[in-house]
Amino acid sequence: GDSVTQMEGPVTLSEEAFLTINCTYTATGYPSLFWYVQYPGEGLQLLLKATKADDKGSNKGFEATYRKETTSFHLEKGSVQVSDSAVYFCALRNQGGKLIFGQGTELSVKP
């Protein structure tokens, strides 16, 4: 079945470091891909999305590119801040409309 696999956390970085969180997926056809972020004590909120191959989603300095050839949607940010500390979830919406989440990656940014 369709699935999403994320790199395991926690990921600990110093402020201003470069961030990559890997995400790969398995799905038939052309799913839509998402990154959601969950700040402590809150529900998830959409960070960015891409709906077709080679699309780049971006928001708040974060970027991810839909790579059909490698079935990947890695999240990147050039310079992280303490306020980026959160749990990040990669997700896909398949052709049947079902939304499938990865297991989440916790990011901790130290000053």
Partner 1 sequence: NAGVTQTPKFQVLKTGQSMTLQCAQDMNHNSMYWYRQDPGMGLRLIYYSASEGTTDKGEVPNGYNVSRLNKREFSLRLESAAPSQTSVYFCASSDWAPTNEKLFFGSGTQLSVL
**Interface residues with partner 1 (CB under 8 A)?**
32, 34, 36, 41-46, 49, 51, 89, 93, 97-99, 101-104
Nearer Cβ to partner 1 (3/14): 3
Structure tokens at 11: 């990921």
Q: In the bound complex, what is the minimum distance in angstroms from residue 70's beta carbon to partner 1?
A: 21
Q: In the bound complex, what is the minimum distance in angstroms from residue 43's beta carbon to partner 1?
A: 3
Amino acid at 73: F
Q: Which sign does the torsion angle of CA 3, 27, 69, 60 carry?
A: negative
Cβ density class 40-66: b for 16+ within 10 Å, e for less: eeeebeebbbbeeeeeebeeeebbbbb
Nearer Cβ to partner 1 (97/111): 97
Q: In the bound complex, what is the minimum distance in angstroms from residue 41's beta carbon to partner 1?
A: 7
Q: In the bound complex, what is the minimum distance in angstroms from residue 6's beta carbon to partner 1?
A: 8
Nearer Cβ to partner 1 (29/43): 43
Q: Are 24 and 71 in contact (CB under 8 A)?
A: yes
Nearer Cβ to partner 1 (25/36): 36
The count of C-alpha atoms lying within 13 angstroms of the C-alpha of 48, restricted to the half-sphere facing its C-beta, is 18
